[in-house]
Chains A and B, each alone.
Chain A
Amino acid sequence: MNTELMKDMLKEYGDYTLSGIRQFIPAKEPKAYLYDLMVDYPSRGGKGFRPALCITTCNAFGGKTEQAKFSAIALELLHNAFLIHDDVEDESFNRRNKPSMHQLTNKAIAVNVGDAMNVLALYPLFKNKMVLGDKLTQTIFLEMQHLVTESTEGQALELGWRRDNCINLREADYFRMILKKTCWYTCIHPIRIGALIGTKGYINPAKFDRLGYFMGAAFQIQDDVLNLVANEKEYGKEIGGDIMEGKRTLMLIHLMGKCNSQERSFIRDFLAIPILDRSQDDAAHIFGLMEKYQSVKHAQKTSQYLAGAALKEFYTHFSALPDTLEKAFLEQMILYMIDRNY
């Protein structure tokens, strides 16, 4: 499979899930302050990564797309709810080339829309009963509960580090944070849920933990790298925004471990002041230091190593399955991460 076909399939699964999300939005007031806003982020053309992983894994294990539909909808609703809250917490200006939800409305409304989307995700999970039966529905509900718990714990770690201006972080701390904040909800649980549905619950989902973890970590690191080096229009967010926000990325942690004491003091002082008071020039200087110490290159390499480990896990658990388009899609997603040229 080539990359273009993979992207077309991603879009297809994204559109399929979006149409499902629309079915769950109540057709009533207050539309302007709530329900219309709930479809805003999902309609902005996200990657559809999570629904695609869930549906294709389900298909690869012999299940039907319709069986994974409600779980995919719930995953995408939760993802977009997280994004809305993330943007408030990070004081981000843009999301997918448009003003972030709180910029479009205000912080109070944005938080409320995110809350409503989190709760709305319960309904498709309940509807799973129609296609999966009670037992599997309950299992998937608990998968989702764990997903949300881990994600909030990961977000807590990152926000806490920023509040306390933690600078003595190591790579293992970063791996722990992204495992919690990103990997469980972006890859591990979508794959686990897809496999559970595809096998009607007759599989130990823990066997996919490493695959999802490696994929998710590679994905997150690449996303952080793109935040520094991508074209703003293609990336959809302000370039260098992570430095301005003081995000503890792998590049920043690597830089703090490599730079001299004077440079370290400069970074620490930059991170100590409120986000809105930080200057673009100082952020650009920190980016220059990341280039000087090859922190970006280190992150790119790390991401590729992890994607390679993901590919090995993929072959371990999927090789015995029949060759299908969906299996090829999963393989191509990992290969794309390895070959990605930023």
Chain B
Amino acid sequence: MDNAQKIVSSAIHVLEEEIAAGILAAKKLENKLIDVEEVRGNQDELMNRIRRDTHEAVDLFLDAFSALTQQLNSYVDKSKTKESKSRSASVKQQYTPSESTSNVFLEAAKIAKPGEVIHFQLLISDDEQLTQLSLQKSAFTSNSIHRIELRNISVKPATIQIKPKDKAEITITVKIPKTAASGIYHATFTDKYNPKVLIILSLEIAA
């Protein structure tokens, strides 16, 4: 039975990583597309275009691609209601445990090289209640078979308790192995005391 639980847990972990990676990828895609705002402002026109000519498969795909970005953007916006709006918060992110019901994104500010050390900082504050937080770390994986193992990742402090209106900072340090392959890596951390929250970390390595 233990074996069954281990297998199912392992499978669930992969699913959660993939969903988190998908959300991040959609967000990055949206940032790259320059016409998203225009499409967002005129959804009827998009549907009219689809209506006009279904045989133009290429056009249809292009439109749908933009619409996908729009929808995923909406999903991301919905799912990370408490995320900081600022893109500069890529390495330092505010987190309010009592208000958080979904995902927190942390993205490395620069492309890292093998052998470098990357820090992610999470600023914790809660005006309402005494909060305990304990981050459960996971390995970083890229979409292929590459990994940065747990032994290269540290969380300090691992567990904290914050009084109302106090602030605290958690630093996640990732030592990138010298043999690390190029790619975009993701890790999904959870808060032991608030399992609904996923803390998704992303970093890019260029060997």
Contact = CB atoms under 8 A, between A and B. Distances in A.
Interface string B18-38: 110010000000000000000
Chain B interface residue number, banded: 20 to 34
B144 to A, nearest CB: 7
From A126, A168, A175, A217, residue with most partner B Cβ within 10 Å: A175
B10 A119 contact: no
Given A166-B145, A172-B10, A209 B15 contact: yes
A172 B147 CA distance: 11
A305 B4 contact: yes
Nearest to B54: A126
Contacts of B67: 138, 141-142
A225 B54 CA distance: 42
B61 to A, nearest CB: 8
Contact of A145 (B18, B47, B64): B64
B93 to A, nearest CB: 23
A142 B4 contact: no
B18 A179 contact: yes
B18 A122 contact: no
B8 A176 contact: no
Chain A interface residue number, banded: 35 or more
A180 B18 contact: yes
Given A123-B54, A302-B7, A179 B47 contact: no
Nearest to B15: A213
Nearest to B79: A206
B14 A172 contact: yes
Contacts of B15: 179, 209-210, 213
Given A123-B54, A171-B10, A153 B145 contact: no
A173 interface: yes
Interface in A162-178: 166, 168-169, 171-173, 175-176
Contacts of A206: 19
Contacts of A153: 143
B7 to A, nearest CB: 5
A175 B71 contact: no
A274 interface: no
Interface string A303-318: 0011011000000000
A113 to B, nearest CB: 16
A305 B68 contact: no
Contact of B8 (A129, A146, A306): A306
B155 interface: no
16 contacts: A119-B57, A122-B60, A126-B60, A142-B64, A146-B68, A168-B145, A172-B14, A173-B145, A175-B10, A175-B14, A176-B18, A179-B15, A301-B3, A305-B4, A305-B7, A305-B8
Interface of A: 119, 122-123, 126, 129, 134, 138-139, 141-142, 145-146, 153, 157, 160-161, 166, 168-169, 171-173, 175-176, 179-180, 206, 209-210, 213-214, 217, 301-302, 305-306, 308-309
Given A122-B57, A305-B7, A306-B8, 11 more contacts: A122-B54, A126-B50, A129-B51, A160-B144, A168-B145, A169-B145, A171-B10, A175-B10, A175-B14, A206-B19, A210-B12
